[in-house]
Chains A and B, each alone.
Chain A
Amino acid sequence: MPLFSTERAQPWLGTIVSIRSDGPRDATSAAFEEIALVHRLMSFHDPASDVSRLNREGHVRPVTVHPYTREVLDWALRIAAASGGCFDISIGRELVEWGLLPHPEGPGAEPDGTWRDIELQADGSVFLHCPLWIDLGGIAKGYAVDRAMGRLLAQGAERAVVNAGGDIRVHGLTEPIRLSVETGADTMPMLELTNGSVASSSGHLQRREIQGMTCGPHVHGIRRKPAPTDRFVCVLAGKCMVADALTKVVMAEGNKAAGILDEFGASAYVHDPAEGWNHLNCIKVANA
């Protein structure tokens, strides 16, 4: 008997999203619709997305956004506050400057603007105190995974795995997940995950020299410089969105990020060429 009735994959959010579930076929279709919606709302590239509208007009007048966008912004600001700005969704400015994102239409981003200039207003709209280039690339994939899983369970699935390019949420089973890190050892690190989420980041695959700096795909939100590129980070959390966002904090801060992980009920495995493997905030999460 097959463990799962369907497994499908579609291209979304700049990666390949796969969904396996024992639910009805319609549930998988509905889950992909959720992912497509998050893609449309939060794309940096699409001029019609909520993010592009904010980057164009958010400093002129409050912009009404979809409740999903609002929820992601709310979490992004919470994680920014907890990490003292190490996670900052206004890093679109640096990513454009380094050629990792295309130059958007509209005004340039304020050189000193940060997440603190984003105001979520009581009526649900969003106002920017100065022009910013918001990029939700560090959190939206995880959120899409959470939304998809929510839809699968609501439509009758009992066991499911949603994987958006390595941001993975598992429900109802134990799933082996290979961690893509080259440690030079003759072993393969594998995670066994039951009912939770994992997100991983490593800088070395996309490492390149830009403006005399070694740049990976991650930005240290406070220093506004590339995060270290030789680290591998894997964050475990209940919500995939939280795991996704916190990989950037651990990537930038390494072992110093343990306190922030604790605040969000998360833990992390970190591999550093100099220090080897480290497990941050392991005990509390194991007992949760």
Chain B
Amino acid sequence: MKARLIFIPLAGIAIAGGPAYATVYLSVEQAQQIMFPGASFTPDNRTLTEDQVKAIEKMSGVPVRNKQLKVWRVSTGGWFIVDEVVGKHEYIPFALGIDAQGKVKDVEILEYREAYGDQIRNPEWRKQFVGQGPGTKLQLGKNIRNISGATLSSRHITDGVERLLATYAVVLH
């Protein structure tokens, strides 16, 4: 093991295109192939009615913010849904695979974009990045992908999965 702690002047760091941390993990197609290898996927998008929204919220206890449901029917049985939840500051798109028995097969986070913490919303802190031109080597979220000591909660995602399982029971089952 080798480790060293270095202190980088904040003025030398660029924020990569808005959020302080942005990682793309999988495309929709990649997530489909990981969850259901070899299967084909037929889009079967739905728009939830008011009654369905109410039923889903009652069953899951989680508010439904978007009535548009992005869903695919899987040739080998089951469903593939792409949805998003609100993280601390940003949307987190994720994919849920539901097997033919209606059970969770997999959850994959497709992209993760979060601000690093309170300091990022502080205008004084942000000002330090203004005017940083090309040639800046370090980009938060690009070559600094890992962060240690923050509290990344998966609560929003587990709530989102609960909501989609209720959606499955009300709309797709």
B-binding residues in A (CB < 8 A): 7-16, 18, 20, 25, 29, 161, 163, 165-168, 174-182, 185-202, 205-206, 232, 234, 236-238, 267, 269, 277, 279, 285-286, 288
Contacts and interface: CB of A to CB of B under 8 A. Distances in A.
B1 A238 contact: yes
A190 B140 CA distance: 11
Contacts, number: 151
Given A8-B25, A178-B140, A180-B148, A29 B5 contact: no
Contacts of B4: 191-192
A191 B5 contact: yes
B-side interface size class: 35 or more
Given A12-B154, A14-B154, A190-B8, A178 B3 contact: no
A186 B151 contact: no
Nearest to B141: A178
A61 B108 CA distance: 40
A182 B23 contact: no
Contact of B147 (A180, A206, A237, A279): A180
Tell me what chain A mostly uses at the interface: helix, strand, loop, or mixed: strand
B154 A16 contact: yes
B3 A192 contact: yes
Contacts of A188: 7-10, 13
Interface string B146-166: 111111111101100100000
Contacts of B72: none
B10 A186 contact: yes
Contact of A7 (B3, B7, B23, B153): B23
A196 B148 contact: no
Interface stretch (B41-49, B75-83, B115-123): B115-123
A193 B118 contact: no
Contacts of A195: 1-2
A269 B107 CA distance: 35
B64 interface: no
B6 interface: yes
